[in-house]
Amino acid sequence: MAKHIMIQGTASDVGKSLMAAAIGRIYTNEGLRVFPFKSQNMALNSYITKTGAEMARAQVVQANACRREPDVLMNPILMKPSQDAQSQIIIKGQVYGDLNARDYHELKPQLKPMLKEVMTQLDSENDLIVLEGAGSPAEINLNDHDIVNMGMAEIADSSVILVADIDRGGVFASIYGTIALLKDQGKRIKGIIINKFRGDVSLLDPGIEQIEALTGVKVIGVVPYLPHVIESEDSCDLHMEQTSYDASKALDVCVIAVEWIANFTDLNSLSLFEDVSLRYAKQAKQVGQPDLIIIPGTANPLRALKDLEDRDLARAIQAAVGKGSHLIALGAGQTLLGQTLKDEAGNSHPGLDIFPYQSTLTGAHDVYQTQCQTTYPPHGAGEEEGYALAAYEVRTYTIQSQDHLSPFARVVKRNGTSYSGDEGYCLEEGRLIASNLHGLFDNTAWTYAYLQALAKKKGVKLKGQLPQNYAAVMEEQFQELAQHVLDHIDKEALDRIIEGEG
């Protein structure tokens, strides 16, 4: 029978996901079989497992922290927003349907038995389950049907650690208010961790003494702020404030901030390359003439296309590409760049006309874990072989062309089964690439070769060497994160809470 511990937070973005990852790695290092779990996650960053099931990327990160293969039971319910008040609901990795907020709220009581069954199964297969909540548990307007915070803690019969972010201010008010609003449910909170602290921790002592007296809950840690490259869950964490080119870097890479951006974690691994100045364009004047433009995926291509036109970004992209900028479009971002984009009703909308193809939104949801061989840049003794890639696809569209366009890659395996077919498009000797592959840049050898080819065309040399592969960098980061948290919490108190003695 597995032990349970749940990480909840006073608000969104207080560090719940990374705290859960850190605690998972701490106990994994002690030899326990640890399973990360978040019953319901709302995110546009997803991942496809080996079985072709879709789950939140944040739980994949936690799986890596726990040295476990990503499993869809780590995130049984995934909500992918597609409109302002509507989300695609994915249950156990498969699409359930598109629901508005009220309809989903009414569905939640029907999901509780499924969550109980999942917990029963996980209890028999693991030593410790590290659960994560969502947002704040004190959303009192939603608590009657809650299945992700205290509602999930009750299903799992788990004690709770409450994480609060001191960096944003008001930490003691947020702690006290959260526990006060929870009333009897707040009794599950057995410890508090103050996160993202900067400065002299002794200055917090009077506040800690008072909050412990007011709430009856011990503060078991004050964790200093730690810069890291571990993937962040929320799009608000995407550092889009960097809008200008750092001229000390060899290559200027501009990411277009498309509306309803999806799988923005595709860009994280580019931070490993010291020659890349990665910046974001929200306005036309910010695009300029970069060496490379990246169009990321989007959960709502029609809205994204209209938004590019409304903000004059479409014209700026066309102008930059027309003057020689390279371009890579990923996932549904490709659909914006063809001659037309046809919606599910059959209505046709003009695209940016950079690629000679036509895109259609199908309403389907085809997902694959994919292995393939690239066609560009050349590789091997005869420079005829490409690079081996491992990535994943989430297709809600089809792309067709009357012209014979060169593929970007040739697929050799999908969802673990041999497969033969073309992937994406590669035009003008690699200047224009459209690809279905999410996680493309995580393939460090290919990315480095591509950047070298880009630098050669620009007439510059890269100073940096081939970095460690992304997985190796993440492994080091997990170890550093775990040690950092371990150094700043009362581990014995955490042990007692997990054992039910707190």
Tell me: pLDDT of 83 over 90. no
Average pLDDT over residues 307-313: 97
> What's the pLDDT score for residue 384?
58
Query: Residue 498 has which token pair?
Result: 């997990």
- In order, the DSSP letters of 339-366 are SEEE-TTS-EEE---SSS-EEEEEEEEE
Task: Let me know whether 206 and 283 are in one domain.
Answer: no
Alpha-carbon span 293 to 14, nearest angstrom:
32
| Confidence check: pLDDT of 314 > 50 | yes
Percent of the chain with pLDDT over 70: 97
State yes or no: pLDDT of 7 exceeds 70. yes
Domain shared by 455 and 333, yes or no: yes
Is residue 343 assigned to a domain? yes
Residue 134 has pLDDT above 90, yes or no: yes
Which helix (H) or strand (E) is 303 found in, with range?
helix 301-310
For residue 144, the model assigns a pLDDT of 86
172 and 309 inside one domain: no
- pLDDT surpasses 60 at 238: no
Phi, psi of 427 (to 5 degrees): -115, 160
CB 131 within 8 A of CB 38: yes
Same domain, 206 and 344: no
What mean pLDDT comes out for the span 318-326?
Answer: 98
If you write DSSP's letter for every residue of 375-444 in order, what string do you get?
-SS-BSTTS-B--EEEEEEEEEEEEE-SS-PPPSEEEEEETTEEEEEEESEEETTTTEEEE--BTGGG-H
Let me know if residue 469 belongs to a domain.
no
Q: Would you say 43 and 58 are in contact if contact means Cβ atoms under 8 Å apart?
A: yes
Residue 427 Cα distances to 104, 230, 387, 404, angstroms: 44, 33, 17, 11
State yes or no: pLDDT of 312 exceeds 90.
yes
Q: What is the per-residue pLDDT for 82? A: 84
Q: Do 388 and 432 fall into the same domain?
A: yes
Domain count for the chain, please give it. 2
Give the pLDDT mean for 23-45.
Answer: 98
Q: 44 and 66: one domain? A: yes
Instruction: Indicate whether 186 belongs to any domain.
Output: yes
Q: Considering the chain, what is the average pLDDT of its residues?
A: 94
Q: Residue 166 has which token pair?
A: 């001191």
Residue-wise pLDDT tens digits, 88-98 = 999 999 999 99
- Helical segments of 218-276, H only: none
Distance CA 288, CA 54 (A): 36
User: What is the torsional sign of CA 179, 184, 185, 191?
Assistant: positive
- Report pLDDT for 424: 97
Query: Residue 295 is part of a domain; what is its CATH number?
Result: 3.40.50.880
State whether 183 and 318 are in the same domain: no
Sole residue written with tokens 């961790």: 193
Clarify whether residues 225 and 257 are in a common domain.
no
Sign of the torsion angle spanned by Cα atoms 453, 457, 461, 462: negative
pLDDT at residue 127 is higher than 60: yes
Residue type, 271: S
Strands (E), 225-355: 251-256, 261-262, 276-281, 292-295, 297-298, 326-330, 340-342, 348-350
Phi, psi of 92 (to 5 degrees): 50, 45
22 touches 29 (CB < 8 A): no
pLDDT of residue 310: 97
Which member of 4, 326, 379, 438 is catalytic?
A: 438
Q: Domain check: are 163 and 74 in the same one? A: yes
Give CA–CA dist 142/133, Å, rounded: 14
Q: Which domain holds residue 335?
A: 251-462
Q: Do 108 and 69 touch, CB atoms closer than 8 A?
A: no
Residue 275 token pair: 């020659």
Give the C-alpha separation, 172 to 178, whole Å.
10
Q: How much is the average pLDDT of 433-453?
A: 96
What global pTM score does this model have? 0.90
For residues 501 and 435, which has the higher predicted lDDT (pLDDT)? 435
DSSP string, 123-180: HTT-SEEEEE--S-TT-TTTGGG-SSSHHHHHHHT-EEEEEEESTTS-HHHHHHHHHH
Instruction: Report yes or no on 91 lying in a domain.
Output: yes
How close are the terminal C-alpha atoms of the chain, in Å?
19
Closest to 15 (Cα-Cα) out of 242, 261, 230: 230
Q: Are both 326 and 210 inside the same structural domain?
A: no
pLDDT given at position 240: 67
Q: Pick the closest to residue 274 from 439, 475, 451 (CA basis).
A: 451
User: Measured between alpha carbons, how far is residue 279 from residues 248, 249, 310, 361 in Å?
Assistant: 14, 12, 21, 29
Instruction: Identify the band that residue 235 occupies on the pLDDT scale cut at 50, 70 and 90.
Output: very low
CATH of the domain at 205: 3.40.50.300
pLDDT over 50 at 383, yes or no:
yes
Residues 206, 259: one domain? Answer: no
Is 438 noted as a catalytic residue in this protein?
A: yes
Has residue 7 been placed in a domain? Answer: yes
Residue 468's pLDDT is what?
82
Report the DSSP beta bridge partners of residue 86.
83, 100
353: tokens are 């006309």
Q: Is residue 292 domain-shared with residue 150, that is, in the same domain? A: no
